[in-house]
Structure 1
Amino acid sequence: MSVFSNLSRRKFLVTAGASAAGAVLLKGCTSPSPTASSNSPSAAAPSPVAAGDAPETTKAVLGYIPILEAAPLVVAKEKGFFAKYGMADVEVVKQANWAGARDNVVIGTQGGGIDGGQWQMPMPHLISEGVITNGNKVPMAVLMQLNTQGNGIAIAGMHQGKQLGLKINDPEYIKGFQAANGRRFKAAHTFPNVNQDFWIRYWFAAGGVDPDKDIELLAVPSAETVQGMRNGTMDAFSTGDPWPYRIINEKIGFMSALTAEIWPYHPEEYLAMRADWVEANPKATKAIIKAIMEAQQWCDKPENREELATLVAQRQYFNAPKPVVLSPLKGTYEMGDGKATISDVNKSPLYWKDPNGNSISYPYKSHDLWFLTESMRWGFHKNALTDFDAAKKLVDRVNREDLWREAAKEAGFTADIPKETSRGVETFFDGVKFDPENPQAYLDSLKIKAA
C-alpha cells in the first residue's frame, strides 16, 4: 500500500500580488513563441476532441529553459500536438533563467507572466509553500515528468589527471585544495536546493566530500560558470545538456560523471502549472498533458532524433548549433580526461519509457518524496519540511498524478499507466537505496548530511 494518502482535492483561489512595474520587468525574461510548422503532418491531423468536450480555453503560456529537458514542449508546439487536442493557442516561451520563471509564474499571465511550464524539482512544492517566493504562496500542480537523465558533473581542465570520475578516488585533493592553492574548491549549479544542486551534492558526498564544509558551492548562471572554468576560478559545474558537449568541444574541461551513471533513469524535470489555472481549466489541462505525452513518444523514437535536434536548435528555441544537441540525443558523450567515450542511447535524455518498462512521463509520488527527503538531508526549508508526514502531505497537495492517469486513459495510452504511485526502491551508484516506504532509513544510511 502506498505511503501517500488519497487526500481530497480542494479548489485553489490564488491572487498574484505584483506591481505593474514588476510585470513589465519580468516580461523582459521571455521571448515570443513561434507557430507550429506548417509542413507538420501532425498539425493537419483530425482532432480527437469529442463534441461537447472541448477545452475551456485554447490558450496557455508555458515557460521553458533552453536545455533538452524542454524538448517535449517544443515538439508539442512544432509538430501540432497542442493544436490536435484543441489547444491551438498555447505559447511556449523562453525564460531567461530559473529565477525569472519562478517570478513569472507568481504574477501569472494576468501580470504578463506564465501559467506554468518546465521546472526543476521540487520548485513547484516550494512555490506552493511560499518558500522561494518571499512567503507568497502560489499553489502549483505537478502534472507530469518531462524527461530523465541529460545532466552531468563537469570539471575544469586544470583538474585533469586527479581521478575525478564517477568515484572520487582522492577526496583529500578537493578537501586540501585551499591549503595548496589559496582558495577553496569552487562548484556551482544553476538554482539552489533543486535538481542540479542535488546531483552535485550527491556526487560529492558519495565521494567523501562534504559540500557544505569542504568546498564552496553556489548558484551561478551557466555562462558565468563556464567562463569561470575557462579562467581558472571555477572548478566544477552541475549542468544539463547541451552544456557537456560545449564544455568538452571547446576544451574547457571534462565530464566526471553523467547523472545517468549516478542514478539510472532518475526523475529530472517536470511540467507544473498554477493550481488555480488547473482547477479553472481541467479539460484544457488534460489536453496539454495529452499533447506532451504524444510529443514524448515522438521524441523517444530513434528515427526522430535527427529532426528533434533540428527543431530545438532553431534560433527561437535553443539557438544552438545542431551538433551540440544531436550528440547527447544520440547518447554520445565525449567524457575527456582519458575516459572512454560513452555511446549509449539509454544514457541520453529519455522522455516516455525507460528500458525497464517504467513510465518516464508519469509523475511518481515516490520521486517527489525523494526530492523533499533530500531537502531534509541538507537542512533546507526546515519550517516547511518539519517531518516526513508534512512532506507526504505536501506531495499529495501538489502532485496531480490523477490528471495524468485520466489524460492517458482518454488518449488511449492505457498500456502505459503505472499501477502504483511509487516506482519502488531506488538504487544509486554507491549502493545507497531509497525506499519511499521508509525514507528515514535512507537518511540514516547517509554518512554526510546536515540533518
Structure 2
Amino acid sequence: MTTRHAITAGFVPLLDSALLVVAREMGFAEEQGIALTLLRERSWASIRDRLAVRHIDVAHILGPMPIAGNLGLNVPAPDMIVPMALGLGGNAVTVSSALWQAMADKGATDDLDARGNGAALRAVIAARAGRPLRFGVVHPYSGHNYELRYWLAASGIDPDREIEIVVLPPPDMGDALAEHVIDGYCAGEPWNAFGVLRRGGHLATVKAAIWQSSPEKVLGVNARWGEANPEAMAALLVALHQASLWCARPDNRAALAVLLAQPAYVGRDVELLLPALSGKLPVGGGAVRSIDDFFVPNARAATFPWKSHALWFYTQMVRWRQIEHTAKHQHIAAETYRPDIYRAALKDLGIAMPSASAKVEGALTAATPVGSSGALTLGPDGFFDGGRFDPDDVDAYIAAQSAG
C-alpha cells in the first residue's frame, strides 16, 4: 500500500509497548499506509518532553499522564488526548528477599493475594523500627503510584507517613532493590521478572489482584497533531487494533517475546518476557503462579478508552493531594479520554464495542457478556477491598476516600 501518513511514536522499553512494536514489525501499520517510526526512551519524563517539543506525535504512555498534563500538573506537556488504550493490567509489586521473609513471618503467602499479603505488610510495618520502608514507582502520575497507594491504604497503611515512595525509571528498579536503595517497587514487565529472577526479589501481589481488568498504558496523542491529522490517527488506531489481535493469540507468544527482546525494543532476554505473556509468573524461591489476566492486550474491551478509567485516575490525584477537586478539573480529566474517536476509527471493522463511554468500576464479579448480541464480554473488574467507583458520583467517591 502507498504510504500516506508518517507517524513518529515514542515508547519506554516495557512489555506493554507491544502493540506499537507489532504494528510496525508485523506490517499492520504499513497495511494502513503508515510509515511508523518508533523512538525508544528510557523514562516517562523523556516521553513527556519529546511530546512537548513535537519530536514525537504519539506515545505509549502512562494512563494518568495525559490527564495530568491537561490539568497543568506535568509540565512541559502539550494538550493531549487518549483515543485508545494499549491493554489492561501488566504490573506487579516486587519486594526484597528480606522484606518478603518478614512478611512471610506475618502470614504472607505465594498466592499473590492482595488482602492477605497487604495485612502481612501492615504487620511488618507496625513492628518495624528505624527508617520507613521505601518503595519505588515509575512516575508520580502513574497507575503504579495509584494502585500501590490504593493497596497500601486499603490494607491499613498510610502511604504518606508509614512508607516512603520514590520515583525511578523502570529499568533501574531491580538494581535499586538489590543494592538496598529501595525495599520494594511497583512496575511493569519485564522488570518484576527481572527483579525476581536476576536480583533476588519476591512478588508480593499483582495489579490484577488489586484491581481486576484495570487500566495501564494508553496511546497518548498530541492534541494539535491529532486535530491536524485525523485520517492518520484513525489509520493508526486500526493498525493497533490489528496488532492487539495478533498479540492476544497464544500461539504468537513466543514470537512476540523474541520480537520484544530485540535491543531496539525492550532489549531483555526472552525468558524475562515470556512469564507476563503466558501469565505464569515467577514469584520467588522457584515458585510459579498462574495469573490468566495478568496482561490483557485485546479481550474485555482492553483497548477501549473508558472515561471511567480517566475519572478514577483523577480521583486518585485528588485523594493524594496532587490537585484540588473542582468541576472544571473533573471535566478536563473526563474529556482527555476520547472513546468517540475510537468508535469512529474502528466502526467499519465490525467489531463489538461498548455502547457506553463509562461504567461503574468494580461492579462486575465475573466475566459478563454485554450488549444486545452478547458479542462483547467485560470484567471481572473488582477491587480487592470490594470498593466501587461510580463515575456519575465522583463527589461521593472522593468524599469517602477523604473520610477513610
Task: With the length of structure 2 as denominator, give the TM-score of the two structures.
Answer: 0.87
- 1:169 corresponds, among 115, 119, 123, to 119
Contact 1:208 1:448 in 2 (8 A): no
1:35-434 alignment, distance < 5 Å? 47=1, 57-87=4-34, 89-108=35-54, 113-133=55-75, 138-161=78-101, 162-163=103-104, 164=108, 166-167=114-115, 168-170=118-120, 171-177=122-128, 179=129, 182-336=130-284, 341-344=288-291, 346-354=292-300, 359-382=301-324, 386-387=325-326, 389-410=327-348, 412=349, 414-426=350-362, 427-434=382-389
Change (3 A) 1:223 1:311: closer
- In structure 1, distance between residues paired with 2:185 and 2:36: 34
Superposition misfits of 4+ residues, deviation over 6 angstroms = none
- In structure 2, distance between residues paired with 1:278 and 1:233: 41
Cα RMSD after superposing both structures: 2.0
For the residue of structure 2 that corresponds to 1:169, the secondary structure is helix
Contact 1:175 1:209 in 2 (8 A): no
Question: What is the identity, as a one-letter code, of the residue corresponding to 1:375?
Answer: M
Aligned to 2:374: none
Once the two structures are superposed, residues 107-147 of structure 1 have per-residue CA deviations (whole angstroms, 9 ceiling, x without a partner) of 00xxxx2112111121112222332115xx62111110001
- In structure 1, distance between residues paired with 2:151 and 2:42: 27
What is the deviation of 1:176? 4.6
Change (3 A) 1:245 1:224: closer
Once the two structures are superposed, residues 6-54 of structure 1 have per-residue CA deviations (whole angstroms, 9 ceiling, x without a partner) of xxxxxxxxxxxxxxxxxxxxxxxxxxxxxxxxxxxxxxxxx5xxxxxx9
Change (3 A) 1:447 1:392: closer
Contact 2:308 2:361 in 1 (8 A): no
Task: With the length of structure 1 as denominator, give the TM-score of the two structures.
Answer: 0.79
Contact 1:149 1:348 in 2 (8 A): yes
What is the deviation of 1:423? 2.9
- In structure 2, distance between residues paired with 1:279 and 1:443: 33
Percent identity among equivalent residues?
29
Higher share in strand:
2
What is the deviation of 1:233? 3.1
Unaligned residue ranges in structure 2 (runs of 5+): 363-381
Unaligned residue ranges in structure 1 (runs of 5+): 1-46, 48-53
What is the deviation of 1:392? 3.6
- In structure 2, distance between residues paired with 1:276 and 1:209: 42
Aligned to 1:19: none
Change (3 A) 1:448 1:173: farther
- In structure 2, distance between residues paired with 1:425 and 1:329: 25
Question: What is the identity, as a one-letter code, of the residue corresponding to 2:337?
Answer: N
What is the deviation of 1:448? 7.5
